[in-house]
Amino acid sequence: MSKIRLVIPAAALTAVLFLAGPFPVLAAPNYNAIPKLQEIKDHPAAPDFTLPDPGGKKISLKDYRGKVVFLNFWATWCEYCREELPAMERLYREFKGKGLEVVAVNIKDKREDALAFIKKNKLSFPVVMDPEGEIGLLYGAYATPTVYLIDRNGTVLARMWGPAGWYSPAARKLISALLEQ
């Protein structure tokens, strides 16, 4: 049985690639599009943690490897948190099927207040309870709201202390760019 060897001249391969059109260029995330969002230049690993959700199920950050994680530290007594969590819900609903996971860590809050807020606002993303604020301190969430953006490999990309318009066109464009990486 004879073997057939296919040889494609370099010029022919170049012509095929040229006619196929340009390769898509992935846009680098523009962290400056969100005022006060700071890129973390050394990209450390996000500290793992395990906390219970409102039903008592244990959830770990590592459970979301392979997804871009929007990690939010919040409390019901924080006015800005109450304002921006519904925007995060809209962001989550738009991008959850594309690889985004929002994880909201409720810190130093009354359990019944947090549960009432979650129910009233129909939050569908994972919420975990940190009543002593230990994980908040681990992440340096000394004020609320605090957000960390974490890539699919568990690397911290950016952080922000304070509120933002998380369903603004700029925020949605940033999340899209992170998901395309």
Q: How far is CA 19 from CA 25, 92, 123, in A?
A: 17, 38, 48
Tell me, yes or no, if 81 is annotated catalytic: yes
Q: Are 39 and 31 in contact (CB under 8 A)?
A: yes
DSSP code per residue over 114-153: HHHHHHHTT--S-EEEETT-HHHHHHT--SSSEEEEE-TT
Distance of alpha carbon 101 from alpha carbon 91, whole angstroms: 10
Question: Of 81, 100, 158, 174, which one is the catalytic site residue?
Answer: 81
Distance of alpha carbon 85 from alpha carbon 163, whole angstroms: 10
DSSP code per residue over 17-33: HHHH-PPPPPPPP-GGG
- HSE toward the beta carbon, residue 42, CA cutoff 13 A: 3
Distance of alpha carbon 150 from alpha carbon 159, whole angstroms: 9
As annotated, the active-site residues are 81
